[in-house]
Structure 1
């Protein structure tokens, strides 16, 4: 058994000097103004859908000590990244073969108005157990998201390969209108979790509705989504459930933007029934604000092409590198105004970059993508507000947040080929504060650097290596 836990090791002496300015370096001035506030943060997270939760709980032989280690890496703020959002997949299959997700109503009751035949195993492909463990470590949001309705509710009679929900605009099904039955189905899923002691906080009914792949999927345009949102909203309210509705997990930011006008149309706009707009980063990245005043989450994105690259923060700017994801997270918050950012899979037994943590051969290996996430998620907690930040050097990009307890967390990313000195001026920081820098690059994983003392009332000075990321976290 081997456990990789580089974040527990002391910082290499050779990197201690990076905390202090050097006379031979170009300087950057970073300004943070905590009095200018933007969106509220809901958190950071991942999914373990399609039976990936079972990977964590030993499906491929991971021993209990490493199972606990992975859970702590993902969800424990003290030990690991402290993710606060978990995205569960609501199953639509009558089989648990391969990586299918089990349905709570695996077979048709006969018609939309027939009495449903629900089943609950208290396991949900290990997602229920994972949610329990995550909540015990500080999880604040459990997002239950369906990739598809059960096949018998759809135009193609298949949970896979797209198809539309029977009853929405533009469909005609011999079996009738299944919208209410599907809403009841989703509500029952939440009830099963609640009755078993776990609270689902967010509910979504679509995933990448522009795509019809060979796995669980369901097509929809904005008008069709709006049709169902109104039914689901009434059903949730009638059930007395305190759950926030989301839509629509578009395949890319542009594709989600295309759905917005139809969600906002009509005398009863569907947008008024939603708490969160969700979108993915695959087809187009979250680099601009969506046309809504509702909160926005980047709810799925990953490198689905590369072989697992655990130790590269930067080499040549490819999809799987840590610096790539550090910038994507930062841009999503500063330019797209998101309130949450989720990677696809948190941990899995795989040879690809689709997970943040790899668990092959009983070895737990966090990737540099994981540490890029942790640079944000460990210090920017739910309820934090993004605040104004800027840099005098284009190579140094910035973001900053104020937590509910007053702690300021600023992120500096050096995208350049040379190290920089920096001076950070923080307007509104508490008197007597100091700043602790945390560094991630090719040689460091969230490594704590020496404390930077305040100067001139609100300024801190230091240096940042080339192709690296620093989190500056204030404390008294």
Structure 2
């Protein structure tokens, strides 16, 4: 077969690109880590158990007590499992607990926004209150309570579901009046009930995916409307005496949250000044760049909602539920988007899908490879850690690194290729003769501790990373 000059050039370019994309076993890749160059502080990792998923853990479908303890330890115990430090609660807005609804602390319209509210508290909160107790006893540090919607009677559509706007925000009025202050009081009262019952809510939110009129609890908002309410909520929190930080706005995608930033920063009294954390989800668009704010940012919800439960696949073809896919999502969010927190949608549930990290099918506890990918970060990158400079010489070996309060450095290497790669890791300030602990997750291993490595003179150590694998290296 005869090739034209252009065809030959295209073939050669493709060959060069292929060789460059997949290093061979004899390739030597260099990684440099510099603890002196530091970036964002890490708040932690976690998930939610909203919409009665907490009850799945406590035996709603028959999970025995011994397995209830197992899943709690896997999620929240640092020594035994992932050591998640952030739990995202759903603040209920429904007047029923049927199906998966989250019940409201004010299920009945009191008669108007200025009427005396009739709050109720069951010390259960769709299973979320006892879950928070158990999580705190195992090391939880942050409890983020977030409302998917205000109660229906506070909204323009008079409905808990299907969107609608909070009565009183810009361009949205109701015949019943302005409910912004009543909604702020409602949220603060929820936090107060927890506080009085011995559990501390640390962060408070009032929106979830405000671009999406879902058929379940949902409420619409743009940035300007969110800003209207933030100013009211901030004053209410300040007067309450509770130590609450305010989050916003849990947009359905990272781009959607960026689109809300202008409204949050506008006006003579910018609402952004009252926020502690800016929050977004990854569904419509992933966190691959920093949001335009100097506030901390969290990725507070994302999951594979497309397929059947695939617990044992770290890598097959790059599918949306695979472990390596999520290891990449987390690394990119921390490294490129500068996030301080990363949360999956559900921690554990009885389901046949990938919407949770751990499945409780048939009364068993089945961690997915996604769970172990999260654990590679959450177990070794603790709250208060700082992301530090880490650079790889090859695009197919990605790297991130973090320095903890205790001086321990956790460096994650992800081999995206099909072959082993040999790596020289150079660490500024690393002494020779120190032990480096490698932990690997891939199709064959779940956070398996490998043989220790001894650092050489000049602050370096040599490693071989298997194909389609994630290895975390711990050293001081």
In the alignment, is the contact (CA less than 8 A) between 1:88 and 1:145 conserved in 2? Answer: yes
Q: How far apart are 1:457 and its partner, in Å?
A: 3.6
In the alignment, is the contact (CA less than 8 A) between 1:34 and 1:429 conserved in 2? Answer: no
In the alignment, is the contact (CA less than 8 A) between 2:455 and 2:461 conserved in 1? Answer: yes
Aligned to 1:13: none
Q: How far apart are 1:394 and its partner, in Å?
A: 1.2
Aligned to 2:358: 357
Q: Distance in 2 between matches of 1:427 and 1:137?
A: 34
In the alignment, is the contact (CA less than 8 A) between 1:233 and 1:245 conserved in 2? Answer: yes
Aligned to 2:129: 128
Instruction: Give the SS at the match of 2:353.
Output: coil
Q: Distance in 2 between matches of 1:85 and 1:214?
A: 27
Q: How far apart are 1:431 and its partner, in Å?
A: 6.5
Q: Distance in 2 between matches of 1:432 and 1:176?
A: 71
Q: How far apart are 1:212 and its partner, in Å?
A: 0.2
Q: How far apart are 1:423 and its partner, in Å?
A: 1.1
456-465 or 162-171: bigger deviation: 456-465
Q: 1:334-359 CA distances to partner (integer Å, 9 max, x unpaired)?
A: 11000000000000000000000000
Aligned to 2:368: 367
Aligned to 2:290: 289
Q: How far apart are 1:436 and its partner, in Å?
A: 0.3
Q: How far apart are 1:430 and its partner, in Å?
A: 5.9
Q: How far apart are 1:24 and its partner, in Å?
A: 4.9
Q: How far apart are 1:432 and its partner, in Å?
A: 5.2
In the alignment, is the contact (CA less than 8 A) between 2:95 and 2:107 conserved in 1? Answer: yes
In the alignment, is the contact (CA less than 8 A) between 2:124 and 2:130 conserved in 1? Answer: yes
- TM-score of the pair, normalised by structure 1: 0.94
Q: Distance in 2 between matches of 1:54 and 1:332?
A: 30
In the TM superposition, what are the counterparts of 1:63-74 in structure 2 within 5 Å? 63-74=64-75
Q: Distance in 2 between matches of 1:206 and 1:321?
A: 29
Aligned to 2:438: 437
Choose 1 or 2 for highest CA Rg: 2
Say if 2:49 is the partner of 1:48: yes
Greater relative contact order: 1 or 2 (C-alpha under 8 angstroms, separation 6 or more)? Answer: 1
Segments of structure 2 that go 5 or more residues without pairing to the other structure are: 1-23
Count of residues in Structure 1 that have an aligned counterpart in Structure 2: 453
Aligned to 2:59: 58
Segments of structure 1 that go 5 or more residues without pairing to the other structure are: 1-22
Q: Distance in 2 between matches of 1:148 and 1:24?
A: 53
Aligned to 1:196: 197
Q: Distance in 2 between matches of 1:54 and 1:363?
A: 15
In the alignment, is the contact (CA less than 8 A) between 1:408 and 1:429 conserved in 2? Answer: no
Aligned to 1:474: 475
Q: 1:151-193 CA distances to partner (integer Å, 9 max, x unpaired)?
A: 0000000010000000000011000000000000000000000
Say if 2:98 is the partner of 1:94: no
Runs of 4+, deviation exceeding 6 Å = none
Aligned to 2:349: 348
Instruction: Give the SS at the match of 1:268.
Output: coil
In the TM superposition, what are the counterparts of 1:216-295 in structure 2 within 5 Å? 216-295=217-296
Q: Distance in 1 between matches of 2:402 and 2:456?
A: 21
Q: Distance in 1 between matches of 2:177 and 2:32?
A: 60
In the alignment, is the contact (CA less than 8 A) between 2:430 and 2:458 conserved in 1? Answer: no
Q: Distance in 2 between matches of 1:417 and 1:222?
A: 45
Instruction: Give the SS at the match of 1:34.
Output: strand
